[in-house]
Amino acid sequence: MQQMWMTIVLLGLLAGCAQPQVEQPKANGSYLVIENSQAWAVLVSDGKRVEERGTVVDVFKRQHSAAAASYVIETANCGRVQWLTERADDADGATTLMSLHDNQQLDEAGCVIGNGLTRVWTVLDYSG
Protein backbone atom coordinates (compact mmCIF):
# COMPACT_ATOMS: atom_id res chain seq x y z
CA MET A 1 0.00 0.00 0.00
CA GLN A 2 2.81 2.38 0.86
CA GLN A 3 4.49 1.67 -2.49
CA MET A 4 1.24 2.45 -4.35
CA TRP A 5 0.85 5.70 -2.39
CA MET A 6 4.45 6.75 -3.21
CA THR A 7 3.88 5.96 -6.89
CA ILE A 8 0.78 8.19 -6.99
CA VAL A 9 2.62 11.05 -5.24
CA LEU A 10 5.62 10.71 -7.55
CA LEU A 11 3.41 10.71 -10.67
CA GLY A 12 1.61 13.78 -9.36
CA LEU A 13 4.90 15.61 -8.85
CA LEU A 14 6.19 14.64 -12.28
CA ALA A 15 2.95 15.74 -13.93
CA GLY A 16 3.36 19.16 -12.32
CA CYS A 17 6.89 19.46 -13.74
CA ALA A 18 5.87 18.68 -17.31
CA GLN A 19 5.85 21.80 -19.46
CA PRO A 20 4.59 22.26 -22.98
CA GLN A 21 7.18 22.37 -25.74
CA VAL A 22 8.42 25.89 -26.39
CA GLU A 23 8.40 26.70 -30.09
CA GLN A 24 11.96 27.26 -31.26
CA PRO A 25 12.72 30.16 -33.62
CA LYS A 26 13.37 29.04 -37.18
CA ALA A 27 16.04 30.44 -39.48
CA ASN A 28 15.11 32.95 -42.20
CA GLY A 29 17.31 34.73 -44.70
CA SER A 30 18.12 35.53 -48.32
CA TYR A 31 21.63 35.14 -49.66
CA LEU A 32 23.36 35.56 -52.98
CA VAL A 33 26.61 33.60 -52.86
CA ILE A 34 29.21 34.43 -55.52
CA GLU A 35 32.37 32.41 -56.04
CA ASN A 36 34.25 33.35 -59.20
CA SER A 37 31.89 32.43 -62.08
CA GLN A 38 29.46 30.37 -59.95
CA ALA A 39 26.45 31.75 -58.07
CA TRP A 40 23.79 30.45 -55.71
CA ALA A 41 20.64 32.30 -54.72
CA VAL A 42 19.58 30.83 -51.38
CA LEU A 43 16.27 31.40 -49.59
CA VAL A 44 15.80 30.15 -46.03
CA SER A 45 12.23 30.36 -44.73
CA ASP A 46 11.03 28.77 -41.49
CA GLY A 47 14.19 26.71 -41.37
CA LYS A 48 13.75 25.28 -44.88
CA ARG A 49 16.44 26.04 -47.46
CA VAL A 50 15.96 26.26 -51.22
CA GLU A 51 18.50 27.41 -53.75
CA GLU A 52 18.83 28.30 -57.41
CA ARG A 53 22.23 27.68 -58.94
CA GLY A 54 23.51 29.92 -61.69
CA THR A 55 26.43 31.43 -63.56
CA VAL A 56 27.72 34.95 -62.98
CA VAL A 57 27.09 37.07 -66.09
CA ASP A 58 28.13 40.50 -64.80
CA VAL A 59 29.42 42.12 -61.61
CA PHE A 60 29.57 45.90 -61.34
CA LYS A 61 31.04 47.65 -58.27
CA ARG A 62 31.42 51.38 -57.81
CA GLN A 63 32.46 53.33 -54.72
CA HIS A 64 30.88 56.77 -55.20
CA SER A 65 27.54 56.10 -56.83
CA ALA A 66 23.91 55.52 -55.85
CA ALA A 67 24.28 52.01 -57.28
CA ALA A 68 27.13 50.54 -55.24
CA ALA A 69 27.06 47.07 -56.82
CA SER A 70 25.13 45.03 -59.33
CA TYR A 71 25.20 41.25 -59.71
CA VAL A 72 23.62 39.53 -62.71
CA ILE A 73 23.38 35.76 -62.81
CA GLU A 74 21.92 33.36 -65.38
CA THR A 75 19.89 30.46 -63.99
CA ALA A 76 18.18 27.52 -65.64
CA ASN A 77 14.77 28.12 -64.04
CA CYS A 78 14.70 31.89 -63.50
CA GLY A 79 16.62 33.26 -66.50
CA ARG A 80 18.79 36.35 -65.97
CA VAL A 81 18.32 37.83 -62.53
CA GLN A 82 19.83 41.05 -61.16
CA TRP A 83 20.58 42.07 -57.58
CA LEU A 84 21.29 45.75 -57.05
CA THR A 85 22.81 47.41 -54.02
CA GLU A 86 21.35 50.86 -53.60
CA ARG A 87 23.20 53.35 -51.40
CA ALA A 88 21.34 56.01 -49.44
CA ASP A 89 23.37 58.47 -47.36
CA ASP A 90 21.81 59.49 -44.09
CA ALA A 91 22.95 61.44 -41.03
CA ASP A 92 24.56 58.35 -39.47
CA GLY A 93 26.51 57.36 -42.58
CA ALA A 94 25.98 55.36 -45.75
CA THR A 95 23.51 52.49 -45.77
CA THR A 96 22.96 49.94 -48.49
CA LEU A 97 20.01 47.78 -49.48
CA MET A 98 20.51 44.72 -51.66
CA SER A 99 17.35 43.82 -53.54
CA LEU A 100 16.33 41.36 -56.22
CA HIS A 101 14.91 42.94 -59.37
CA ASP A 102 11.96 41.38 -61.11
CA ASN A 103 11.93 39.71 -64.48
CA GLN A 104 9.17 37.77 -66.23
CA GLN A 105 10.60 34.34 -65.39
CA LEU A 106 10.60 34.79 -61.59
CA ASP A 107 6.92 33.84 -61.57
CA GLU A 108 7.55 30.52 -63.35
CA ALA A 109 6.77 27.35 -61.38
CA GLY A 110 10.36 26.05 -61.44
CA CYS A 111 11.92 29.30 -60.17
CA VAL A 112 12.50 28.89 -56.44
CA ILE A 113 13.77 32.44 -55.82
CA GLY A 114 10.64 34.20 -57.07
CA ASN A 115 9.43 34.45 -53.47
CA GLY A 116 12.46 36.61 -52.63
CA LEU A 117 11.36 39.81 -54.36
CA THR A 118 10.26 41.50 -51.15
CA ARG A 119 13.26 40.36 -49.12
CA VAL A 120 16.49 42.14 -48.30
CA TRP A 121 19.37 40.05 -49.61
CA THR A 122 22.88 39.55 -48.26
CA VAL A 123 25.60 39.10 -50.85
CA LEU A 124 28.53 36.87 -49.97
CA ASP A 125 31.16 37.46 -52.65
CA TYR A 126 34.06 35.02 -52.31
CA SER A 127 35.60 35.88 -55.69
CA GLY A 128 38.61 37.59 -54.15
Check residue 84 and give its pLDDT: 83
Quote the CA–CA distance of 59 and 109 in Å, as a whole number. 27
Give mean pLDDT, residues 93-104. 69
Quote the CA–CA distance of 30 and 49 in Å, as a whole number. 10
Quote the CA–CA distance of 17 and 19 in Å, as a whole number. 6
Check residue 74 and give its pLDDT: 93
Residue 93 has pLDDT above 70, yes or no: no
Residue-averaged pLDDT of the chain: 80
Taking only the tens place, the pLDDT of each residue in 11-58 is: 776 666 666 777 778 888 899 999 999 999 999 988 899 999 999 999
| Cβ contact 98:123 at 8 Å | yes
Sorted by where each begins, the domain ranges of the chain are 29-125
Check residue 19 and give its pLDDT: 67
